[in-house]
Chain A
């Protein structure tokens, strides 16, 4: 069989002065010396940390809209799409009668692989991946985050479409609140 590609040859033995390796040692020590006076690369982690970009995929969290409503309508799409099946939802009726809502919304953070499919698939923009990435747990039970915890992590994200106001016939009386809340991430 013909050999495809040309193998790299090992360099030959050094001759004369180079054979003492003195020059190589000096060159190596010079590199070491130079690095002594360069800025340190180590990040002092607990005190110092990266500023993650806004679209960083950390732990997922649920968000509320500007009127403190839970945005999630328990459509089960995220539970369906989740590759490791980390999301568990139980639906319930809610008072407004317009939509349903989640009674139980658990995310098993130890199953979660932070792929962001849930955020991508959510028709209500109710679930987002935060920038939180340093949570550790002492037990499995502790790392299954219930709805309340997820909502606390997510905070408020205004709903620009104001679906609820239209569906319930409310007048959009809180336009000022929308502008004040902004659209930034609050993770």
Chain B
């Protein structure tokens, strides 16, 4: 069939909105910044390795420079001493950026109810997705990356301002 024939336009042309197109691109090329702080980082490595292979989701390019990354995976215990560094690295990442709190320590402090540990990295930087586990399995982390992809698409659709900001909701109900 020749493109341009009457009635076949839908077959040959796909229309979209610019925001959706950009979101599609971003979604499939999330470059994680591996903020590996403890044992969770081992599972983070397993996620990138061939068995679980996060390259299938376009997130295999781990960038150790925050300026090249748009998804920070905080994997491990955020001590009070490390917290300023985490914040600084987050600030160095270009917008739009996303944060996954991986594991019990990064999400809430886990079993380290201690003077030296921040009770959740969301006391320092805004978190989009929380993953329970100690440490979470690589599949759980992939689930988290998929959740970020869904969030990204959803926010592009609704418009960033209109969407209820889960980062704010994340601050409530701590325990």
A residues with CB within 8 A of B: 41-46, 49-50, 59, 83-85, 88, 106, 108-115, 133-144
Contact indicator B104/A134 (Cβ below 8 Å): no
Contact indicator B122/A138 (Cβ below 8 Å): no
Scoring A84, A112, A113, A138 by chain B CB atoms within 10 A of each residue's CB, the highest score goes to: A138
Instruction: Name the distance in Å between B117's Cβ and chain A's nearest Cβ.
Output: 11
Of B108, B144, B146, the contact of A46 (CB 8 Å cutoff)? B146
In the complex, the chain B residue whose C-beta lies closest to that of A48 is B139
Contact indicator B110/A113 (Cβ below 8 Å): yes
Residues of B within 8 A of A143 (CB): 107, 130, 132
Q: Among B24-32, B48-56, B88-96, which stretch is in contact with chain A?
A: B48-56
5 interchain pairs (CB within 8 A)?
A: A42-B53, A134-B137, A138-B151, A143-B107, A144-B173
Residues of A within 8 A of B107 (CB): 110, 140, 143
Residues of A within 8 A of B169 (CB): 138-139, 141-142
Interface flag for B131 (CB, 8 Å): yes
Instruction: Name the distance in Å between A66's Cβ and chain B's nearest Cβ.
Output: 30
Contact indicator A138/B129 (Cβ below 8 Å): yes
Bound complex: CA of A136 vs CA of B142, how far in Å?
A: 10
Residues of A within 8 A of B137 (CB): 133-134
Contact indicator B140/A140 (Cβ below 8 Å): no
Residues of B within 8 A of A114 (CB): 133-134
Contact indicator A139/B104 (Cβ below 8 Å): no
Bound complex: CA of A45 vs CA of B144, how far in Å?
A: 12
Contact indicator B166/A133 (Cβ below 8 Å): no
Given contacts A140-B175, A144-B175, contact A110 B52 (CB under 8 A): no
User: What's the tally of chain B residues with a CB closer than 8 Å to chain A?
Assistant: 39
Number of cross-chain contacts by CB at 8 Å: 112
Contact indicator A133/B140 (Cβ below 8 Å): yes
| 10 cross-chain pairs, A with B, having the tightest CB-CB distances, nearest first | A141-B173, A113-B134, A84-B111, A110-B107, A139-B169, A109-B132, A110-B108, A139-B170, A138-B166, A137-B130
In the complex, the chain A residue whose C-beta lies closest to that of B111 is A84
Bound complex: CA of A114 vs CA of B171, how far in Å?
A: 24
Secondary structure at chain A's binding surface: helix, strand, loop or mixed?
loop
Contact indicator B131/A136 (Cβ below 8 Å): yes
Contact indicator B139/A138 (Cβ below 8 Å): no
Contact indicator B113/A134 (Cβ below 8 Å): no
In the complex, the chain B residue whose C-beta lies closest to that of A83 is B111
Contact indicator A88/B175 (Cβ below 8 Å): yes
Residues of A within 8 A of B68 (CB): none
Contact indicator B130/A112 (Cβ below 8 Å): no
Residues of A within 8 A of B136 (CB): 133
Instruction: Name the distance in Å between A29's Cβ and chain B's nearest Cβ.
Output: 19
Bound complex: CA of A140 vs CA of B119, how far in Å?
A: 12
Which residues of chain B in 117-175 are interfacial with respect to chain A, using CB atoms and an 8 Å cutoff?
120, 122, 128-134, 136-137, 139-140, 142-144, 146-147, 151, 166, 169-175
Instruction: Name the distance in Å between B139's Cβ and chain A's nearest Cβ.
Output: 5
Residues of A within 8 A of B143 (CB): 46, 134-136
Residues of A within 8 A of B133 (CB): 114, 133
